[in-house]
């Protein structure tokens, strides 16, 4: 049973990553901050990858569309976790937008796979509804990004003005 060692390894990696993150001080400008952050980031990435592999391993036990749904869920969770990790590191409106985009894409991919269980017209309607939900989520995320960038630019933030 390979699943238990993988889960244990992922738990340990997350524990070490959390401890390393707790030791680094975000406001500190002295010393080699890069070394601590880089190793903590790598540890978190390895933990995310181990978690993803464990989730994919569970999917191999299933067949047919259930397996496809499981894989889409695993990929979606992995992509969202990576986007959240980047957002935590960068703390920018663009990084937060990327999190929301990853969530929308993950939900859309899973919804499309779930639609595959339906027949003809119902499937077509299901995919259209999933796409509409995806488009709404992306539009909302873009609006929040634009609002965030405007407020940063208006308050003397370091965000450059971008024409879109």
pLDDT tens-digit map of 25-47 = 444 444 444 444 688 888 888 99
Compute how many other C-beta atoms are within 10 angstroms of the C-beta atom of residue 76: 19
Separation in Å, CA 96 to CA 11, 31, 52, 61, 89: 26, 28, 22, 35, 11
Domain borders along the chain are 1-22+35-61, 63-154
Whole-prediction pTM value? Answer: 0.67
pLDDT tens-digit map of 95-123 = 999 999 999 999 999 999 999 989 889 99
Yes or no: say if 76 and 108 are a contact pair by the CB < 8 Å rule: no
Give start and end residues of each alpha helix (H) in 24-160: 33-59, 64-90, 93-115, 120-154
Q: Mutual orientation of helices 120-154 and 93-115 as an angle, nearest 10°? A: 180
Q: Which long-range contacts (CB under 8 A, 24 or more apart) does 19-28 make?
A: none
């Amino acid at each position: 049973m390979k699943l238990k060692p993988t889960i244990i390894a992922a738990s340990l990696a997350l524990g070490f990553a959390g401890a390393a993150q707790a030791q680094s001080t975000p406001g500190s400008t002295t010393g080699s901050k890069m070394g601590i952050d880089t190793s903590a980031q790598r540890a978190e990435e390895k933990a995310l990858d181990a978690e993803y592999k464990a989730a994919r391993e569970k999917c191999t036990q299933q067949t047919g569309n259930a397996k496809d749904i499981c894989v889409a869920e695993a990929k979606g969770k992995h992509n969202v976790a990576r986007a959240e990790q980047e957002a935590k590191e960068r703390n920018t409106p663009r990084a937060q937008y990327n999190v929301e985009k990853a969530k929308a894409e993950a939900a859309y991919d899973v919804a499309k796979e779930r639609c595959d269980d339906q027949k003809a017209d119902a499937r077509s309607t299901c995919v259209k509804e999933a796409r509409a939900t995806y488009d709404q989520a992306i539009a909302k995320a873009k609006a929040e990004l634009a609002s965030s960038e405007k407020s940063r630019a208006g308050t003397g933030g370091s965000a450059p003005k971008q024409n879109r």
